[in-house]
């Protein structure tokens, strides 16, 4: 039974959260469905715990709303049944849980043991905690959140009103931008902005700029932020040396953001959802605050993110491609799917562990069928959308035969020449001998053309060195990833903690 859109939520979780007020949430979902009908989209709303409805679709209901395996299995089965072009997860993680994936990099330098992720919901692969199982995204997915722990559905109602009021506009409205960068990463941010907009003259740098932005500065409808983020913190931070001033403060954003704004943040925990009443300052996250102030989409990370100080990599690529695709006329959900597929294609065929973490941690907050920028008439047709989905499904499926993912391996004694070359590189990059070291191995996936090519099929190793320093509550982490094949250094990458 083909549907254009599938909206999933959990009625019992909503009742537990809102009591009798949950009916307001249900009315809002129906309002989206009615709005979609006017847009000529067929939409189905399914509550994963509704045994009667799920039996009708021949899908086991979710009996425990917190059970990630049950939620993943239910959504996969419903997706197979309806084959939707868009999948909307309605509610924060206390309604539909994130899929928690193991962080291969977990250490004193990277405190994330788990990566809360919506990526598995975008993939055909069944439930698993290994992020390497989810390198073939084929689905357009977005999470329209409420506030974790909240007892008032008014926040969700506000977001739905913005969805119902949204309509595509000319791309020139999204060609102007607000952007703020950490001083230390200004060269990388300049390059990202040039890739998105063709220039970078409007970039702000923290310090000195922020967090008291003017309405004129924040008025542009595209926001790109490359700053530090912190766990359950309503601020993003700049940096110059050991100075980490506030760059964006959620408490200062009211009435500062234009309706229909799209935003992408590279920051650590940039799109983290948390209960503000469980923090020292009962203030919503930056992402939640953007959305309540009428931004239509926010793309960011759930955990500690990484990127280079100069050049492009990791968070840079995923965030900028999301914005580029949206400005070109894609729905926000399709923009993220295309960004994910492009990222994997560019980083492949062998992913280092930081690339794997990056693809797992970034997700979309917002209704994925919303199209901020008007596209060419031909691309608006039903056939065009179906063709686009078929192409993306094919691309995603192909990635599973192409991308090889890393596995942590025991550190063995290295060849004399290789060890000497690494020591020289570490000295040049100012890493001490006490730097944390991990070794990951990735075996390329041979195909018909490469099956008999011994050199191609040799395992690739990534030697990861990391070190950190602390300034107040901020941790500065630098990383060196040395790529090895057959005992030779094939190259290296430098990342820093965002």
Residue 94 confidence (pLDDT) above 80: yes
Secondary element (H or E) of residue 356: helix 353-361
Q: pLDDT of 407-450, one tens digit each? A: 999 876 777 888 899 999 999 999 987 888 999 999 877 765 55
Question: Please, which residues have CB within 8 angstroms of residue 106's CB and are 6 or more apart in sequence?
Answer: 112, 113
Residue 10 confidence (pLDDT) above 70: yes
Mean pLDDT of 3-7: 97
pLDDT for 452 equals: 57
Please check whether residue 64 is in contact with residue 70, taking contact to mean a CB–CB distance below 8 angstroms.
Answer: yes
- With CA atoms as reference, report the closest residue to 3 among 367, 329, 382: 382
Residue 362 confidence (pLDDT) above 90: yes
Question: Taking each helix axis from N to C terminus, what angle separates 154-165 and 22-38, rounded to the nearest 10 degrees?
Answer: 10
Better-scored residue on pLDDT, 280 or 130: 130
The Cα–Cα gap between 342 and 338 comes to 6
Write down how long the chain is. Answer: 498
The answer to whether residue 431 is domain-embedded is yes
Q: pLDDT of 134-164, one tens digit each? A: 999 999 999 999 999 999 999 999 999 999 9
The answer to whether residue 94 is domain-embedded is no
Mean pLDDT of 171-183: 97
Mean pLDDT of 110-138: 97
Q: pLDDT of 222-238, one tens digit each? A: 999 999 999 999 999 99
Q: pLDDT of 238-257, one tens digit each? A: 999 999 999 999 999 999 99
pLDDT band at 365 (very low <50, low <70, confident <90, very high): very high
Give the strand pairing for 460-471 and 474-485.
Answer: antiparallel
The answer to whether residue 468 is domain-embedded is yes
The answer to whether residue 136 is domain-embedded is no
Q: pLDDT of 48-59, one tens digit each? A: 999 999 999 999
pLDDT for 451 equals: 60
Range of the domain at 418: 407-497
Secondary element (H or E) of residue 488: strand 488-497
The Cα–Cα gap between 174 and 327 comes to 6
pLDDT for 378 equals: 52
pTM over 0.85: yes
pLDDT for 372 equals: 97
The token pair that represents 429 in the structure block: 């990059």
Lowest mean pLDDT among 68-77, 236-245, 344-353, 441-450: 441-450
Using a pLDDT cut of 70, give the percent of the chain over it. Answer: 96
Residue 401 confidence (pLDDT) above 90: no
pLDDT band at 192 (very low <50, low <70, confident <90, very high): very high
The answer to whether residue 359 is domain-embedded is no
pLDDT for 432 equals: 84
Count CB neighbours of 375 within 10 A: 15
Task: Write out the E strands in 2-112.
Answer: 5-9, 43-47, 86-90, 99-102
Using a pLDDT cut of 90, give the percent of the chain over it. Answer: 85
DSSP structure string for 296-324: SEEEEESS--EE-SSS--THHHHHHHHHH
The answer to whether residue 186 is domain-embedded is no
The token pair that represents 421 in the structure block: 């070359």
Residue 481 confidence (pLDDT) above 80: yes
Mean pLDDT estimate for the chain = 94
pLDDT for 389 equals: 80
Sign of CA dihedral 175, 180, 181, 186: positive
Question: Taking each helix axis from N to C terminus, what angle separates 11-18 and 22-38, rounded to the nearest 10 degrees?
Answer: 130
Please check whether residue 89 is in contact with residue 82, taking contact to mean a CB–CB distance below 8 angstroms.
Answer: no
Count CB neighbours of 108 within 10 A: 11
pLDDT band at 352 (very low <50, low <70, confident <90, very high): very high
Q: How many domains does the chain have?
A: 1
């Amino acid at each position: 039974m083909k549907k254009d859109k599938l909206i999933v939520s959990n009625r019992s979780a909503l009742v537990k959260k809102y009591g009798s007020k949950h009916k307001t949430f249900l009315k809002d979902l129906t309002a989206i469905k009615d709005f979609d009908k006017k847009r000529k989209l067929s939409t189905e709303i399914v509550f994963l715990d509704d045994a009667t409805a799920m039996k009708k679709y021949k899908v086991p209901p979710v009996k425990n709303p917190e059970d990630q395996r049950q939620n993943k299995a239910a959504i996969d089965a419903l997706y197979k049944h309806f084959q939707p072009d868009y999948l909307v997860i309605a509610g924060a993680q206390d309604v539909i849980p994130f899929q928690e994936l193991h962080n291969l990099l977990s250490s004193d330098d990277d405190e994330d043991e788990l990566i809360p992720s919506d990526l598995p919901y975008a993939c055909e692969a069944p439930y698993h905690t290994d992020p390497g199982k989810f390198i073939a995204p084929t689905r357009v997915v977005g999470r329209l959140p409420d506030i974790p722990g909240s007892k008032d559905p008014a926040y969700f109602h506000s977001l739905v009103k913005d969805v119902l009021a949204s309509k595509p506009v000319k791309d020139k409205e999204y060609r102007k931008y607000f952007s703020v960068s950490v001083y230390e990463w200004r060269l990388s941010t300049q390059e990202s902005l040039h890739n998105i907009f063709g220039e970078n003259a409007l970039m702000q740098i923290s310090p000195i700029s922020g967090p008291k932005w003017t309405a004129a500065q924040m008025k542009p409808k595209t926001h790109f932020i490359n700053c530090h983020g912190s766990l359950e913190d309503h601020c993003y931070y700049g940096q110059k040396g050991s100075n980490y001033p506030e760059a964006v403060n959620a408490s200062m954003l009211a009435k500062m953001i234009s309706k229909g704004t799209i935003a992408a943040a590279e920051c650590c925990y940039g799109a983290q959802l948390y209960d503000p009443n469980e923090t020292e300052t009962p203030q919503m996250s930056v992402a939640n605050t953007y959305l309540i102030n009428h931004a239509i989409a926010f793309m960011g990370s759930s955990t500690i993110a990484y990127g280079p100080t100069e050049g492009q990599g990791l968070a840079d690529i995923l965030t900028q491609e999301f914005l580029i695709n949206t400005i070109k006329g894609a729905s926000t959900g399709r923009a993220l799917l295309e960004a994910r597929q492009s990222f994997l294609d560019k980083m492949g065929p062998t992913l280092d562990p930081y690339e794997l973490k990056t693809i797992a941690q970034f997700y979309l907050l917002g209704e994925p069928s919303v199209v901020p920028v008007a596209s060419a008439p031909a691309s608006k047709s039903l056939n065009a959308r179906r063709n686009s989905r078929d192409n993306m499904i094919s691309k995603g499926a192909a990635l599973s035969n192409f991308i090889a993912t890393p596995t942590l391996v025991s550190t063995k004694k290295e060849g004399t020449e290789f060890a000497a070359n690494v020591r020289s590189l570490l000295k040049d990059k100012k890493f001490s001998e006490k730097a944390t070291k991990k070794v990951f191995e990735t075996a390329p996936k041979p195909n018909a053309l490469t099956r008999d090519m011994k050199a191609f099929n040799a395992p690739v190793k990534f030697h990861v060195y990391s070190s950190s320093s602390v300034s107040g509550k901020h941790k500065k982490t630098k990383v060196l990833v040395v790529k090895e094949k057959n005992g030779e250094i094939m190259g290296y990458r430098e990342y820093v903690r965002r």
